[in-house]
Structure 1
Amino acid sequence: MKKRFVILDGSSLFFRAFFALPPLTSPTGEYTNAIFGFANMFLKLWEELKPDELVIAFDKSRHTFRTELYPEYKGTRDKTPDELKSQIPLLEAFADALGVTFLEKDNYEADDIIGTLATQAAAAGYDASVVTGDRDALQLVRPGLRVLMTKKGISDLKEYDEAAFTEEYQMEPLKLIDLKGLMGDTADNIPGVPGVGPKTATKLLLEYGTLENVLDHAGEVKGKKLQERLTTFAEQAQLSKTLATINCDVPDLDAPGAYSVHPDAAKFTTFCQRYNLKAVLTRGKKLLAKLAAEEKGESLTLSADGGTKAAPAKTGKGTKKAASDAPAMPDLSTIDVVMPDGHIVFDWKDCLHAGLRFDDGKHVDDLKLMAYLLHPEATEYTIPALLAEFFPEEVQPETALLPPPMGEGDREAVERVVRAAYQRLLPPMRAQLDKLGLTKLYEDIELPLVPVLFEMEQTGVFVNRDHLAEKAEVIGDRIKGLEDDIYTLAGKTFKINSPKQLGAVLFEDLGLPPVKKTKTGYSTNAEVLETLRYQHPIIECILSYRLWTKLKSTYLDGIAALIHPETGRVHTSFNQTVTATGRLSSSDPNLQNIPVRTEQGKEIRALFEPGEGYDAMLSADYSQIELRLLAHMSQDENFIEAFREGQDIHARTAAEVFHVPIEDVTSEERRRAKAVNFGIVYGISDYGLSRDLHISRKEAAGYIDEYFTRYPGVKAFMDKVVEEAHQTGAVTTMYGRRRELPAIHSKNFNQRSLAERMAMNTPIQGTAADIIKIAMIRASRMLKAANVKSRILLQVHDELVLEVVKEEIPKVTEILKEAMEHAADLSVPLVVDVNVGKNWAEAK
């Protein structure tokens, strides 16, 4: 069997990967979208092609022998984005970790390295393959050498051998350079002959064979203008052919036979951990294990837990012994270690749930909280990743951090390793917090919040199971009724949850105008249905059906399974290290996504009641905290005045925008002003506002312009925040919480615009999150100091929910108002609305 030689056009594929994916960053802010896309494609190709030798070729610089011949060569191309340039060293490190040769050469392009090695390999009897996104490489196709060309993105490939090329181009592959000589190439700024396109060039080559022959017979071709052009630009055509010709004789390259692959699993693991490439690491480990097993004559299968397991290969003389499974290694980030001199931990709240307690006099440090504040955009925090970040030159892969295979008696050995890792990480992580101004946020807000959240999770919230079962049955009947209404309006039955079938009903059977199409048919997402809401009664039924089915599955069926059988309570988890803005999220169940002001949401909230020994539910809710923060942070005089005078801010805005006295503002004008107020906080565009209010973009733009005219301080604040984000690549809250925005420098308009909207919103939303956390800490301490029985159960965005006893309601109300309204010193008052009811819905 022939050996396989594969060479990748690193420059072309890396470039495509960069533009195929949105901006991705490592925990420390380096761009990683290009290396992520390339690495996944590389591993897929390695597994499928099974090369014996493998090379990545790359352009070293724009200056080559071609630019010496023609300085304008590739001169029309944009400058390589800095976000892409910064990832080239990552590509080299990736190749080094996998023991793959990375080649670049002064004065030559990657194409020339590819051409030289690929043709040499084919001539030496290899089965040679070139993987590229550049069609110039098709000229290399010949016996023993094929080109795999990317079609869309970087994963969809089309294979070209001689037959495939000839079928598409009607000529032999090498004639591609003659074709380029005639018609040029706008992408590379190769001039060719003006006025000669692909059809004319192909016709001429089919008739005369080569560029030189075409030029020799220029006086014979049909058309006087074409004759003149071929004669006038003959020298330019010859130059164009030279520029398009891949040099297959690059000097000082090792011949095929020197490019076998020698992966270093340790280096590969460290590299992936350093740049948070979890999917690449998982895929790569499985591939390396599979290749190692195949080399030993074994096959590799997936084990029941999703890992890999080597199985014996059958041979004519029996079977080889199966390779033993590697011992299970514990996840360093889940081991709780009690420190005798102050109890460094990774996820303090989890430690508390596990029964780990700390003396009051000892300070606790939580490495996970530190990691979150340093990298709020990260999706996961682990000790191995942190070690790779802070000690990149010396850290070993995660398995090397552990002692040999463990038995029951090895717990102490594991704890020693973990303790050493924790103690090692604390100083540099604290130093980084100090450097970024995050220490006060960590020590005064995030760390003291942990015991408060722990107590809330332990307490849980009581759910009336009888009412829950009744409500599930009622809503089930309601969903069935909506199904019947939808079938009647459609004139037939179909799968409502099938986008394909629903699209056919709406846009073919009922003739509604299709708003957007996808690869698989018509889009029927929420945005599309909202656009069509008033065009047919079936739309309202479908929206209601979707809402009720979601609420039933999530909050009725879902909660029923989570109720503790003895206490009758559900114990949601409050996630402190998930959102980039600093807001808490909840899960199992998620109690923060219940619709706030809809009847459906109220029906769900009514199921949450005070537990045994308590009389009522109490809700303490900040009133318009984000708008008040916008007034304070922008120092807009009109905004500040409205809040200080206790005016209805939406009515005041309507009066300003629509030029009417505040007492004459209509409910519709107030509704529109409210949408503008909250839209401004989130950096809304005229398109977004027009969609929300069902008005034209021109009218929406007029509202926004008038708003900024009336509130110039807000406009100045927003502009300043975006400008600073462009300068620093990050934004901060009043309390120093930091969010990196790497896409703020993107050349992609949509990505950059999204980052700019995040820049406008994060300081406001993040500061609101900081204040509610301060309020929770204050309220918890004050309730304990008052020795009351009433207690905090939930935090939902700007609201605290408590279960209270009747006689304590006045005292608890006073405590909450004091704790929450004085959590921050602003230019406008913080106002808290307190309501009490027999369930959460009544209290809300």
Structure 2
Amino acid sequence: MRDKLYLIDGTALLYRSYYAFVNNPLINSKGENTSAIYGVVNSFLHLLDSKKAENLLISFDRKAPTFRHELSEAYKANRPPMPDALLAQVEPVQEFFRIIGLKEISIDGYEADDVLATLAEHFKTDYDIVFVTIDKDYAQLVDDKAVIYDPMKNITLDKEAIVKKYGILPEQFVDFLALAGDPSDNIPGVRGIGEVTAVKLLKQYSNLDEIYAHLDEIPEKLRQKLIEGKDNAYLSRQLAMIIRNVPIEIPRIEALKFNPESLHKAKDFLTRYEINTLKRLIDNRYGQKIAISIPSEEPDKLVQSDIFESEYTVPSKMGNKKFQAILATAENYSKLLDHLKKVNLVSLDTETTSEDAMQADLVGISLCFKSDEAWYIPIGHKEYNNFPKEQTLRELNEALQGKLILGHNIKYDMIVLHQEGWNWDNKIGDTMIAAYLLDPGTNQYSLETCTATELQYEMITFSSLINKKACPSFDLLEVEKACDYSAEDAWAVYMLYPIYLKRLENTGLKELYENIEIPLIPVLQQMEENGVSIDTEVLKEISKNINQELEKLTEEIYAYAGYEFNINSTQQLAKVLFEEKKLPAKKKTKSGYSTDSAVLEELAEKYEIAEKLLQYRMLSKLESTYVSALPKLINPRTGKIHSSFNQTVTSTGRLSSSNPNLQNIPVRTDLGKTVRKAFIAADPDWELMDADYSQIELRLLALMSGDQVLIDSFKQDLDIHRQTAALITGKPLNDVTDEERRRAKVINFGLLYGMGQKKLSRELGISQEEAKKLIDEYFHRFPTIQAFINNCKAEARLHGFCQTLFGRKLYLKNINSSNQGLRAEAERVAVNMPIQGTAADLIKIAMIDIHKQIKDNPRIKMILQVHDELVFEVHKEFLLEAEKLVKKAMEEALPEKYSRIVTLKVDIGHGHSWFDAH
């Protein structure tokens, strides 16, 4: 592999960056347009990060006319002059590259593409050339040793891509422009010949000269156009042709080397233009490495792909089955164990009788360590001579010691096998988590979907084997069918793993995978196995109170309507509200008037009935989802509830939970909060301890925006909402009223979630005009937060994703959508996700560290995680030590280079129930 030389067309990037934000320009507090500065610097940083570019050089167009203007006065004559706002940013952009020491070569009389083409010709003997540009004219320079890279779209165009895009070879591109012309540069081409005809002619005659040499073969009408336009065709070819022998001084190879550490020299420059997002980016990517506490049993580094068979390849299309499913028997079992001892990596899958890992009985295990075979070991099939479970698990456990074990949702397998006595201290990998990290917004991470996408291979479906009529449980399935199905699962994971590993590395997600998500798996495994005790008597009392309140609300709603009806029916409720009572309908769907929460919340501003309906729905959901449901979720084997904690559900990186969904327990109402009273310590000598991050998202906003007012407020431990209210109102801190503080709190949190004036007016019960005035005043007092919001949107528009401090990415397909609603939603996510996602990363880091410290301590158990809080079951004698341990781990999860700016704060409480502890 030869080194690459990246040749950057600075002028092309300037124009693209400026016009990318022309409708929403980035303006700093001095009134300066910084769109182009931001866009070019951001693209350059992205180039360094994504391509690991080491050899670079940049060129800019000069103001002086070029030789092309001497050939044609009309050349670029119809192009409007550079906008003043862009012109003002040219010198700052060039200054940035001077500050960081990137070599620039530009010359009067020639354009940047001429200079870069000349350099490319010289350096092709030593480097593969990458032209960094969005200018299509560079297509003529593409060959076996040169490609185009568009940093805005993150795409590379090689010879094949040029042919696919334009229908011609790169070397034909100049003649293509000679025929079709280029209006953007005022290159005339041949009048009456468009791109389609030009491509057709070049496919038939190769080049311009050959076309004119065979005019007699061309249909008369087209021939006449070519004859009349010959002079323009050859002039156009001269104008379009990039010169490759510009008289410049060729730099020494050493001058091409770029040291990323020199980026720190530009931090004052970025501060001057208030581009704090990119300043932070430089700190993140090229500053001190973030140290994350990793459990000792986890790998420092994942085993690389060289542990696979040397001939391992993934066909572009798998087609039919490419492996053999082997059923383990008494005769071949010893062969399997011998194989296992010789390999470093094994994919594993368990088959059981239940989706609930804590209640599942083990039926079989499949293993794969080669691309052409996978094994299945039957352990719990009905009416079959299974392998003895205890002995087999012991032998397999011993054979797999020290191996990297892969799975797809491996946490499930870990819990199942641990319940059977498996001593699980292996290094692990998970293809489901890898797929999720690579595209966290799809929720398409089933093994069947991943295999179809990556291997173009259609798997046996579970539903085709297990159904109520034919075979209701896996232990009743024929062993041969079980073997085919389960072995295929293990094989698919084995094949997917190196694909995902490479892609994680290429997208900068490998550290997140290795240092946070994978080490978190055994933490969650232990939490799920620990479970939490439930007081059913408390739930009965809550149910009684809820039902009394529901009866009262039901009577009031009936009285409003004048008759009884099904309150839960959208159609019947809509009829009452909008047809009979003539309330203003806010939204209509295909099935009629909408009565969703958003509609009722808006109506509740003026109509009491809407508030009653919202209360009715909240209580009904509380009763059905939690109060009545929780007792049914108690595991008969343990007497506890074992919620599942999921890593691959939310797009921001937050954990979710299911059976029950702890995140959705309503805590804004008193009755909702009381549900937490049912979560209790199992023993009188133990208590629940709740550790909750205090205002973590606002602290991260302070850090990531660099807003000094917020930073100072947190350093002084001030009431941040009262401080905000004081700034907005212009009052002294002590004169701020409680209502003004409440408003400031709504604004502080609301603006992080994209709250506009309409919703703010509804939340505060004020007019939209008053809400707009509050928002305007807020951003006037906090210009750096406005800049942060704008920069988040700008970076997302440029690269198509947003990311956290730890490199977690979320791709936003609608960020540049022409649909205003879709684009606005994507922009809202672009602002919120970096903050909420970073908070999610931090609590995961803390959990990993805490788990490492407490895993062998019998006096403390981590049992729940909800949003920004962790819940533990702690022996009363260990409470003081537990508080110190947990507080320290959570507050120190933020790396030191960040905690010097903003510190994290954790509130801790304890009591018999979760309610008491919080």
TM-score, length-scaled by structure 1: 0.57
Amino acid at match of 2:666: P
Matched, 1:772 2:819: no
Residue number in structure 2 paired with 1:632: 703
SS of residue paired to 1:495:
coil
SS of residue paired to 2:495:
helix
CA shift at 1:538, angstroms? 3.0
Residue number in structure 1 paired with 2:732: 661
Aligned residues: 522
SS of residue paired to 1:620:
strand
**Structure 2 Cα separation of the partners of residues 762 and 733 of structure 1:** 7
Label 1:409 to 1:583 Cα distance change in 2 as closer, same or farther (>3 A): same
CA shift at 1:421, angstroms? 3.4
Amino acid at match of 2:784: G
Q: Is the 8 A contact 1:643 1:649 kept in 2?
A: yes
Amino acid at match of 1:428: I
Equivalences for residues 393-472 of structure 1 within 5 A: 395-399=456-460, 407-408=478-479, 417-472=488-543
**Structure 2 Cα separation of the partners of residues 533 and 336 of structure 1:** 60
Residue number in structure 1 paired with 2:429: 365
Residue number in structure 2 paired with 1:821: 891
Which of the numbers 433, 436, 446 marks the counterpart of 1:382?
Answer: 446
Residue number in structure 2 paired with 1:495: 566
**Structure 2 Cα separation of the partners of residues 535 and 456 of structure 1:** 46
CA shift at 1:700, angstroms? 1.6
**Structure 2 Cα separation of the partners of residues 462 and 609 of structure 1:** 6
CA shift at 1:458, angstroms? 1.2
Q: Is the 8 A contact 1:788 1:808 kept in 2?
A: no
**Structure 2 Cα separation of the partners of residues 424 and 760 of structure 1:** 37
**Structure 1 Cα separation of the partners of residues 526 and 713 of structure 2:** 39
Matched, 1:351 2:413: yes
**Structure 2 Cα separation of the partners of residues 400 and 572 of structure 1:** 26
Label 1:523 to 1:428 Cα distance change in 2 as closer, same or farther (>3 A): closer
Q: Is the 8 A contact 1:610 1:803 kept in 2?
A: yes
Residue number in structure 1 paired with 2:404: 342
Amino acid at match of 2:905: V
SS of residue paired to 1:835:
strand
Q: Is the 8 A contact 2:367 2:490 kept in 1?
A: no
Residue number in structure 2 paired with 1:55: none
Equivalences for residues 62-461 of structure 1 within 5 A: 340=400, 341-355=403-417, 362-391=426-455, 395-399=456-460, 407-408=478-479, 417-461=488-532
Which of the numbers 771, 784, 801 marks the counterpart of 2:871?
Answer: 801
**Structure 1 Cα separation of the partners of residues 405 and 792 of structure 2:** 39
Label 1:816 to 1:745 Cα distance change in 2 as closer, same or farther (>3 A): same
**Structure 2 Cα separation of the partners of residues 558 and 379 of structure 1:** 26
**Structure 2 Cα separation of the partners of residues 658 and 358 of structure 1:** 63
TM-score, length-scaled by structure 2: 0.53
Kindly report the root-mean-square deviation, in angstroms, between the aligned alpha carbons of the 2 structures: 3.5
CA shift at 1:788, angstroms? 4.6
Which of the numbers 828, 845, 860 marks the counterpart of 1:790?
Answer: 860
Label 1:802 to 1:381 Cα distance change in 2 as closer, same or farther (>3 A): same
**Structure 2 Cα separation of the partners of residues 629 and 437 of structure 1:** 22
Q: Is the 8 A contact 2:437 2:509 kept in 1?
A: yes
Q: Is the 8 A contact 2:802 2:830 kept in 1?
A: yes
SS of residue paired to 1:836:
strand
Label 1:331 to 1:503 Cα distance change in 2 as closer, same or farther (>3 A): farther
SS of residue paired to 1:352:
helix
**Structure 2 Cα separation of the partners of residues 489 and 384 of structure 1:** 52
Residue number in structure 2 paired with 1:594: 665
Q: Is the 8 A contact 2:459 2:488 kept in 1?
A: no
**Structure 1 Cα separation of the partners of residues 528 and 886 of structure 2:** 20
Label 1:501 to 1:798 Cα distance change in 2 as closer, same or farther (>3 A): same
**Structure 2 Cα separation of the partners of residues 400 and 596 of structure 1:** 40
Label 1:411 to 1:521 Cα distance change in 2 as closer, same or farther (>3 A): closer
Residue number in structure 1 paired with 2:146: none
SS of residue paired to 1:647:
coil
Residue number in structure 2 paired with 1:3: none
Matched, 1:515 2:586: yes
Amino acid at match of 1:554: T
CA shift at 1:452, angstroms? 1.0
Amino acid at match of 1:701: K
Identity, in percent, stands at: 42
* Structure 2 stretches lacking a partner, 5+ long: 1-151, 154-160, 165-192, 197-314, 320-365, 369-373, 378-395, 467-476
CA shift at 1:418, angstroms? 4.6
Amino acid at match of 1:818: K
Residue number in structure 1 paired with 2:606: 535
**Structure 2 Cα separation of the partners of residues 513 and 689 of structure 1:** 20
* Structure 1 stretches lacking a partner, 5+ long: 1-81, 84-88, 93-105, 110-266, 272-329
SS of residue paired to 2:664:
coil
Q: Is the 8 A contact 2:605 2:765 kept in 1?
A: no
Which of the numbers 819, 822, 844 marks the counterpart of 1:751?
Answer: 822
Residue number in structure 1 paired with 2:881: 811
Label 1:501 to 1:414 Cα distance change in 2 as closer, same or farther (>3 A): closer
Q: Is the 8 A contact 1:479 1:548 kept in 2?
A: yes
**Structure 2 Cα separation of the partners of residues 335 and 372 of structure 1:** 27
Q: Deviations over 1:239-263 (max 9, x none)?
A: xxxxxxxxxxxxxxxxxxxxxxxxx
Q: Deviations over 1:305-364 (max 9, x none)?
A: xxxxxxxxxxxxxxxxxxxxxxxxx999x9999794421221110111221687666421
Label 1:518 to 1:331 Cα distance change in 2 as closer, same or farther (>3 A): farther
Q: Deviations over 1:617-638 (max 9, x none)?
A: 2110000101100100111111
Matched, 1:835 2:905: no
Amino acid at match of 1:354: V
CA shift at 1:388, angstroms? 4.1
Label 1:508 to 1:415 Cα distance change in 2 as closer, same or farther (>3 A): closer
SS of residue paired to 1:427:
helix
SS of residue paired to 1:343:
strand
Matched, 1:682 2:786: no
Amino acid at match of 1:780: H
Amino acid at match of 1:677: N
**Structure 2 Cα separation of the partners of residues 579 and 387 of structure 1:** 22
SS of residue paired to 2:533:
strand
